[in-house]
Amino acid sequence: MRLRLFAAVLGSISLLVGACSSAASPAPAGGASTVAAEVSEWAITLDSSTGKAGTITFNVNNKGAKTHEFVIVKTDLKADSLPVADDEVDESAFEPVDEIEDIEAGATPTLAVDLQPGHYVILCNLTSHYQKGMHADFDVQ
């Protein structure tokens, strides 16, 4: 009898602890706070296309053979719709956020930026790199 009572009490405590544990650690609200980014000829790929407002860290890896950039601009335009003049995007037409210039082949720089909700475009703005496909959309919630 005591063994059954002990088992019942222990089972109840286990359920109570499990319920409290899951309530104490809610799932993060949409989007990543760390994003792995890969630049190469001729693409920028992100492991997440969304982030949560606040500090977002981009871990960039240049897997290409050429030097690239990692430029972040805030805009309502889609990544493949930015205006181009003289084989480059006019960055002054957008709200600049931050960038990493001259990422050599094999380099793995990190960029931490404070992003507010909205739409961003990540691009390489070296001559003709944007037109060749080096851009990605990124949304912050």
How do residues 69-95 score in pLDDT, each as one tens digit?
A: 999 999 999 999 999 999 999 998 998
In a domain, 22, yes or no: no
How do residues 19-67 score in pLDDT, each as one tens digit?
A: 443 333 333 455 679 999 999 999 999 999 999 999 999 999 999 999 9
CATH classification of the domain holding 120: 2.60.40.420
Instruction: In whole angstroms, give the CA distance from residue 141 to residue 129.
Output: 28
The domain total for the chain is 1
Instruction: In whole angstroms, give the CA distance from residue 31 to residue 123.
Output: 20
Two structure tokens written together for 42: 């001729």
- Taking Cα atoms as reference points, which of 49, 28, 39, 37 lies closest to residue 140? 49
In a domain, 88, yes or no: yes
- Taking Cα atoms as reference points, which of 32, 111, 120, 40 lies closest to residue 75? 120
Instruction: Supply the pTM of this predicted model.
Output: 0.77
In a domain, 15, yes or no: no
In a domain, 57, yes or no: yes
Q: Is 102 exposed, middle or buried (0-12, 13-18, 19+ CB in 10 A)?
A: exposed
Does residue 100 contact residue 69 with C-beta atoms inside 8 Å?
yes
In a domain, 65, yes or no: yes
How do residues 92-124 score in pLDDT, each as one tens digit?
A: 899 889 999 999 999 999 999 999 999 999 999
Q: Which domain holds residue 53?
A: 34-140
Any idea what DSSP says for residue 79? G
pLDDT of amino acid 96: 85
